[in-house]
Chain A
């Protein structure tokens, strides 16, 4: 499989009209996403090394821990997550609307603005203009641009849906429209409550928790689910197992997610009922999780040989299994008795990575493996690189999750342990911090494994684009020499 495919695609393999209209916007989003993924990984490695060796690059003001950590998450969420979710989501939306979409230029403008905003934002973080609010660190001069771009893209998505070819609606469309609507809503609301007209005191933290929870739950998670709902039946040629309940899954997720953020304030300085309602909402997430688990896993059952052979499905199935696991772990962690131990430890970081990497990113990788051959009308150059990407990602993220969950739980037990008199068992806080060192080293190792996988992914994409450009030039020159009109293959 290592031989690059230099054979020209057969004449019948022309791009569908829909894919043709979406080609340039989708390529813009996907390629930007990959660049941001790699940038984020560089910052992630810096963050990881600095958390075990604080002296590393300590002299450089621009690369202090606080800044690279914030830059890492902003690259990962807005750079990689945003671009991937727009690229994959809007492409699926356009396909399911079954009509070549007008105004692809609007998407290009939105994409350029979005990426400019993330660039300005990350640069602002690095030079020291960052805000103090988690996941909203981008300075306000970048965030307004980001909000504008997201609203533009949401308007395009809504118009595309409004003027779709009449007919049935698939649940993937609901998830994408939800994500397109929810992101501008939570982002603008958080900006207003935190920066434009700041709320006082504790309400600021509550707004931040609400935003961070919904950023995952109402933006990245719906996008990932929509791709899974689309790709699984598409590749298997088999309908979703219990599709009848898919819409119930969507609406219950929409209903419960928004309330769930307050579960993170157990023990914090906020009215007790807020955490209680958040915990109940988090537990209620069992309903959409079970519906999605049944729909995703039971559709796959008995088709494992297909999963093993398919580049996209491997990633998607890994992602859906991670969805079930991360969801159930989230339910358990929301309970007071567990949350009291797990909060403010590495477990929180682990859970975020469970969602962003093991679930969202894996499904996005799968979707990109499905999309790129259709956008460029050619096959992937190397199956080995795809396999390498999959195994590095699967092993890397598993190592990271085990390290962060186990290390965080032990850390939490040590911090909360009290003896019979009610005094702390471990009075030396620094010793508890030192005890997390092996787990943090494991995280650095896992990031290196992930980075190797991402490099394989990038190499494959560059190789593919290189061939696409070559054959485009070839067709151009042959068209000139034969004086025939250009074929539509490009």
Chain B
């Protein structure tokens, strides 16, 4: 083969690019580096140390990074910013309630109680500053669940109309969200405790009934504080 003669072309390097090593020697020289007897040539110390260091770094970095940002490989988590999703179901309920309370109130309650929570004078009682919604959460939840009829006195005015029962319309989380929104709304002067879905479920279980509450029944069970 002509390649065995390095000065193939009798021309300066600048114009032909002579090769200094034929292909057979090239292969042989490199294969030697794999055999133990001849493979301790120069350079074989640099890479083992580097390789070990780099592989270690990759494993440490990769492991930590995946643990931190993979969201447990949950296909529904798209958040790239690295906040792992809170997959605890109770905490998830809290998030839903605080997010949805106002929206649910607007959807279900504003027709009577109005968006400012002040009701309509003579027709529907206010929720703003009302002792009926503060205090024992069970009273308010029981009224929302089963409704209320009869003459009622709120903040010095008397009302006589019907509160719709919501037990068939809203689930425990939704009722908890609405009642929490009303009870803890600082704009309305209320700062009572939050209501949890479990409390609503418990109230729903203990006071299952087909008729609306009468005002006297409620006051007997849960007297105003």
A, B assembled together: yes
- Contacts from A to B (Cβ < 8 Å): 1, 5, 9-10, 12-18, 95-96, 98, 167-171, 230, 233-245, 248, 266-273, 275-277, 279-280, 283-284, 286-287, 290-291, 294, 298, 309-313, 336, 369-370, 373, 378-381, 383, 386
Q: Which residues of the partner chain B approach A373 to less than 8 Å between Cβ atoms? A: 9, 15-17
Interface string of B5-21 (1 = CB under 8 A from A): 11011111111110111
B13 to chain A, nearest CB (A): 5
Asked whether any CB of chain A lies closer than 8 Å to the CB of B90, the reply is no
Q: Which residues of the partner chain B approach A234 to less than 8 Å between Cβ atoms? A: 19-21, 26
CB distance B2 to A14 under 8 Å?
yes
Q: Which residues of the partner chain A approach B42 to less than 8 Å between Cβ atoms? A: 241
Asked whether any CB of chain A lies closer than 8 Å to the CB of B46, the reply is yes
Q: How far is the CA of A1 from the CA of B12 in the complex (A)?
A: 10
- 17 further contact pairs, Cβ within 8 A, besides A171-B30, A239-B29: A13-B8, A16-B3, A96-B23, A168-B30, A233-B30, A234-B19, A235-B17, A236-B20, A245-B47, A266-B80, A267-B80, A273-B66, A273-B70, A283-B62, A283-B65, A294-B43, A313-B17
Q: With A14-B2, A276-B70 as given contacts, are A287 and B13 in contact (CB-CB < 8 Å)?
A: no
Q: Which residues of the partner chain A approach B47 to less than 8 Å between Cβ atoms? A: 242, 244-245, 291, 294
Asked whether any CB of chain A lies closer than 8 Å to the CB of B78, the reply is yes
7 sampled A-B residue pairs with Cβ under 8 A: A15-B2, A16-B2, A237-B6, A271-B73, A283-B61, A286-B57, A383-B14
Closest to A386 in B: B14
Q: Which residues of the partner chain B approach A17 to less than 8 Å between Cβ atoms? A: 1
Q: Which residues of the partner chain B approach A243 to less than 8 Å between Cβ atoms? A: 30, 33
Closest to A306 in B: B13
CB distance B76 to A271 under 8 Å?
yes
CB distance A280 to B62 under 8 Å?
yes
CB distance A291 to B51 under 8 Å?
yes
Asked whether any CB of chain A lies closer than 8 Å to the CB of B216, the reply is no
CB distance B50 to A290 under 8 Å?
yes
Q: With A1-B15, A239-B33, A242-B47 as given contacts, are A272 and B80 in contact (CB-CB < 8 Å)?
A: yes
Q: How far is the CA of A270 from the CA of B75 in the complex (A)?
A: 8
Q: Which residues of the partner chain A approach B13 to less than 8 Å between Cβ atoms? A: 309-311
B186 to chain A, nearest CB (A): 23
Q: With A271-B75, A336-B82 as given contacts, are A379 and B34 in contact (CB-CB < 8 Å)?
A: no
CB distance B14 to A272 under 8 Å?
no
B142 to chain A, nearest CB (A): 42
Interface size of B as a range: 35 or more
Most buried by A among B10, B27, B73, B80: B80
Closest to B79 in A: A272
Q: Which residues of the partner chain A approach B81 to less than 8 Å between Cβ atoms? A: 336
Q: Which residues of the partner chain A approach B2 to less than 8 Å between Cβ atoms? A: 12-16
Most buried by A among B57, B74, B78: B78
Complex interface residues of chain B between 66 and 97 (CB less than 8 A to chain A):
66, 69-71, 73-82
Q: How far is the CA of A489 from the CA of B35 in the complex (A)?
A: 41
Q: With A234-B20, A379-B15, A383-B14 as given contacts, are A270 and B78 in contact (CB-CB < 8 Å)?
A: yes
A262 to chain B, nearest CB (A): 12
Cβ contact of B15, chosen from A169, A244, A313, A383, cutoff 8 A: A383
Asked whether any CB of chain A lies closer than 8 Å to the CB of B220, the reply is no
CB distance B39 to A284 under 8 Å?
no
Q: With A272-B80, A309-B13, A383-B15 as given contacts, are A244 and B28 in contact (CB-CB < 8 Å)?
A: no
CB distance B78 to A237 under 8 Å?
no
Q: Which residues of the partner chain B approach A242 to less than 8 Å between Cβ atoms? A: 43-44, 46-47
Asked whether any CB of chain A lies closer than 8 Å to the CB of B31, the reply is yes
Q: With A12-B5, A168-B30, A244-B47 as given contacts, are A379 and B80 in contact (CB-CB < 8 Å)?
A: no
**Chain A facing B: main interface SS:** helix
Cβ contact of B26, chosen from A170, A381, A386, cutoff 8 A: A170
Q: How far is the CA of A161 from the CA of B141 in the complex (A)?
A: 80
Q: With A283-B58, A379-B11 as given contacts, are A241 and B1 in contact (CB-CB < 8 Å)?
A: no
Q: Which residues of the partner chain A approach B215 to less than 8 Å between Cβ atoms? A: none
CB distance A369 to B17 under 8 Å?
yes
Q: Which residues of the partner chain B approach A98 to less than 8 Å between Cβ atoms? A: 23-24, 27
Closest to B11 in A: A379
**6 closest A-B pairs (Cβ-Cβ)?**
A237-B20, A168-B31, A273-B70, A379-B15, A280-B62, A276-B69
Asked whether any CB of chain A lies closer than 8 Å to the CB of B202, the reply is no
Q: Which residues of the partner chain A approach B33 to less than 8 Å between Cβ atoms? A: 239, 243-244
Q: How far is the CA of A382 from the CA of B24 in the complex (A)?
A: 31
Q: Which residues of the partner chain B approach A311 to less than 8 Å between Cβ atoms? A: 13-15, 17
Asked whether any CB of chain A lies closer than 8 Å to the CB of B155, the reply is no
CB distance B74 to A280 under 8 Å?
no
Q: Which residues of the partner chain B approach A279 to less than 8 Å between Cβ atoms? A: 65, 69
Q: How far is the CA of A312 from the CA of B41 in the complex (A)?
A: 27
Asked whether any CB of chain A lies closer than 8 Å to the CB of B123, the reply is no
Cβ contact of A284, chosen from B58, B73, B82, cutoff 8 A: B58
Asked whether any CB of chain A lies closer than 8 Å to the CB of B120, the reply is no
Q: How far is the CA of A239 from the CA of B82 in the complex (A)?
A: 47
B216 to chain A, nearest CB (A): 53
Closest to B24 in A: A98
Closest to B65 in A: A280
CB distance B65 to A276 under 8 Å?
yes
Q: With A244-B34, A379-B9 as given contacts, are A273 and B61 in contact (CB-CB < 8 Å)?
A: no
Q: How far is the CA of A144 from the CA of B126 in the complex (A)?
A: 73
Q: How far is the CA of A312 from the CA of B13 in the complex (A)?
A: 10
Q: Which residues of the partner chain B approach A268 to less than 8 Å between Cβ atoms? A: 80
Asked whether any CB of chain A lies closer than 8 Å to the CB of B55, the reply is yes
Closest to B62 in A: A280
Q: How far is the CA of A319 from the CA of B37 in the complex (A)?
A: 34
Q: How far is the CA of A167 from the CA of B47 in the complex (A)?
A: 26
Q: How far is the CA of A272 from the CA of B70 in the complex (A)?
A: 6
Q: How far is the CA of A362 from the CA of B197 in the complex (A)?
A: 67
Closest to A286 in B: B54
Q: Which residues of the partner chain A approach B8 to less than 8 Å between Cβ atoms? A: 12-13
Q: Which residues of the partner chain B approach A381 to less than 8 Å between Cβ atoms? A: 15
